[in-house]
């Protein structure tokens, strides 16, 4: 039985979580441990949740645009292959559309079999359309960006002391940034420790810039 296609690849899911974390850090990092009051915390929570809600929607829309562009490109390539005047032209189009590593191991016989199989496919639609999987992926992107806000904001909801909540929130954010960066490093074949520490450093730089700019 053929396994279903993943809505998002692991590296994509981790990237969305990192994006959400960095976004919320620009809000929590603007609070002063010595001066923050309950009103400041409330305004920060509203701003952080609202910003991640908006960016979750925007990122979901961008995801759909990417899916539509990919499907449109695939349709264009399929039509060009089927309308090619000779097999050699079709072979070149197929090789150009394939990933470089795959194209490098395809010989003329392989390309010809692919061309014949493509010619046997039903007539393609006139224009690219989004599938149910694409919409599911967009919803997944939204929730990944939006829900990544909550672990960092929960201390402000549970702890009565604003300074203590800030410290706990920062510790949670640092831990999540490191874990997400560590996992991303493993997905992309880079040093997990280096990427994890880099993400923590990036979060710290963004917080410092936010404070320096009066955010």
Task: Write down the pLDDT at residue 4.
Answer: 44
Residue that wins the pLDDT comparison between 55 and 57? 57
Task: Write down the pLDDT at residue 27.
Answer: 73
Q: Where are the domains of the chain?
A: 10-69+130-212
Task: Write down the pLDDT at residue 78.
Answer: 92
CA distance 6 to 130: 16
Do the Cβ atoms of 67 and 136 come closer than 8 Å? no
Task: Write down the pLDDT at residue 147.
Answer: 82
pLDDT tens, position by position, 109-130: 999 999 999 999 888 888 888 9
Task: Write down the pLDDT at residue 17.
Answer: 79
Q: Look up the pTM and report it.
A: 0.73
DSSP letter assigned to residue 159 = -
CA distance 183 to 215: 30
* b (16+ CB within 10 A) / e for 34-58: eebeeeebeebbebbbebbeebbee
pLDDT tens, position by position, 133-159: 889 889 988 888 888 888 888 888 888
CA geometry: angle at 192 spanning 189 and 196, to 5°? 130
Task: Write down the pLDDT at residue 115.
Answer: 92
CA distance 12 to 138: 12
pLDDT tens, position by position, 176-185: 889 888 988 8
Q: How confident is the model at residue 206 (pLDDT cuts 50, 70, 90)?
A: low
Task: Write down the pLDDT at residue 91.
Answer: 93
Averaged pLDDT of the chain: 82
Does residue 101 carry a pLDDT above 70?
yes
Task: Write down the pLDDT at residue 2.
Answer: 40
CA distance 8 to 172: 25
Task: Write down the pLDDT at residue 151.
Answer: 86
Considering only CA atoms, which of 134, 136, 124 is closest in space to residue 66? 134
């Amino acid at each position: 039985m053929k396994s279903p296609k993943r809505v998002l690849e692991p590296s994509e899911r981790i990237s969305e979580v990192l994006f959400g974390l960095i976004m919320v850090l620009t809000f929590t990092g603007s609070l002063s441990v010595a001066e923050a009051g309950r009103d400041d915390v409330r305004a920060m929570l509203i701003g952080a949740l609202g910003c991640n809600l908006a960016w979750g929607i925007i990122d979901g829309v961008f995801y759909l645009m990417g899916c539509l562009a990919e499907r449109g490109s695939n349709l264009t390539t399929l039509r060009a292959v089927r309308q090619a005047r000779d097999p050699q032209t079709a072979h070149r189009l197929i090789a150009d559309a394939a990933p470089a590593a795959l194209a490098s191991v395809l010989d003329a016989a392989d390309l010809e079999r692919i061309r014949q199989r493509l010619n046997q496919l039903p007539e393609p639609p006139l224009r690219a359309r989004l599938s149910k999987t694409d919409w599911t992926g967009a919803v997944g992107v939204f929730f990944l960006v939006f829900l990544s806000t909550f672990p960092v904001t929960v201390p402000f909801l549970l702890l009565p002391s604003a300074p203590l909540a800030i410290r706990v929130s920062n510790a949670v954010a640092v831990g999540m940034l490191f874990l997400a960066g560590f996992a991303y490093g493993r997905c992309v074949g880079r040093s997990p420790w280096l990427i994890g520490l880099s993400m923590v450093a990036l979060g710290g730089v963004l917080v410092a810039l936010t404070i320096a700019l009066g955010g």
